[in-house]
Amino acid sequence: MADDNKLFSFQGYVYLGDLSGRKIANPFWVGDATMNIALETESVEHTESFSGQRLPYGRLTTKKSATATLTLFEARAENLALALYGNKVTVTAGTVTGEALPTAAAGDLFALDHALVSALTISDSASDTLAEGEDFSIENAAGGLVKILNVTGFTQPFKAAYSHATVDSTGLFTVTPPERFVKMVGVNTLDNTPVIVDLYRVRFDPASELSLHNEEFGSFELSGALLAVAGLMNSPLGGFGSITLGNNG
């Protein structure tokens, strides 16, 4: 008798990319993630009027829709760009000289133009150098935060010189969200048979919440609507996507 056990427990790599025919183009791996899809229909029912019992006699589907949900566990720049409707801007490492600072009083805290700073020196407009620990302190090098401790005897404005590291920054609501081809390449962990999921056009909503303080591992969720590909709607697999199961036996 053939084994018809179809129990499953899926895991796999999730890639996002662009649609090219029925294939993914320019894919990138989102890192550790889980994915779910949900299908839904809307219908109207017709109740017959001849039996005297008003029984359901017909059902017409008026809408078909599907959504994909990604839970992302890695704060990669590409993932954040989708979550924030933003674009990644890379600032390469470099040096800054002569960055003018606001007029300050002793105790004032201010931010430099760049983050992740090192080798900071501050001088006044008469080219006198402020001493770190006496005239200024670096409150937070990662945030580029500096405190002025003493202004007596100096000519303002002060000027900063420093080095800064390469950073990737992502803005909020700076771009129109792109449609993404979503592809999962995984296995049924019960028997190691392959499972491949292709979703041709998914337009994600922004993340409903992005926790900035975490007691445990952080994550954020993206949910988006599956959109049909007109040229594929009459094909055997339809215009939304497909799930492919392999057979190791």
Does residue 211 share a domain with residue 188?
yes
Does residue 145 share a domain with residue 39?
no
Does residue 240 share a domain with residue 125?
no
User: CATH number of the domain that 213 lies in?
Assistant: 2.30.110
In a domain, 4, yes or no: no
- Amino acid 22: pLDDT: 85
Q: Which of 165, 188, 211 is the last residue of a domain?
A: 165
In a domain, 2, yes or no: no
- Amino acid 203: pLDDT: 96
Give the model confidence (pLDDT) of 34-67 as tens digits.
Answer: 999 999 999 999 999 999 999 999 999 999 999 9
Does residue 83 share a domain with residue 18?
yes
Does residue 185 share a domain with residue 80?
yes
Does residue 134 share a domain with residue 200?
no
Number of domains in the chain: 2
pTM: 0.84
In a domain, 123, yes or no: yes
- Amino acid 249: pLDDT: 53
Does residue 139 share a domain with residue 17?
no
Q: Which of 126, 143, 165 is the last residue of a domain?
A: 165
Question: Could you list the residue range(s) of the whole structural domain that residue 109 is in?
Answer: 93-165
Does residue 233 share a domain with residue 183?
yes
Give the model confidence (pLDDT) of 163-206 as tens digits.
Answer: 999 999 999 999 998 899 999 999 999 999 999 999 999 999 99
Residue whose tokens read 């303080």:
213
Mean pLDDT, rounded, of the chain: 94
Give the model confidence (pLDDT) of 206-245 as tens digits.
Answer: 999 999 999 999 999 999 999 999 999 999 999 999 999 9
Does residue 102 share a domain with residue 154?
yes
Q: Which of 165, 196, 225 is the last residue of a domain?
A: 165
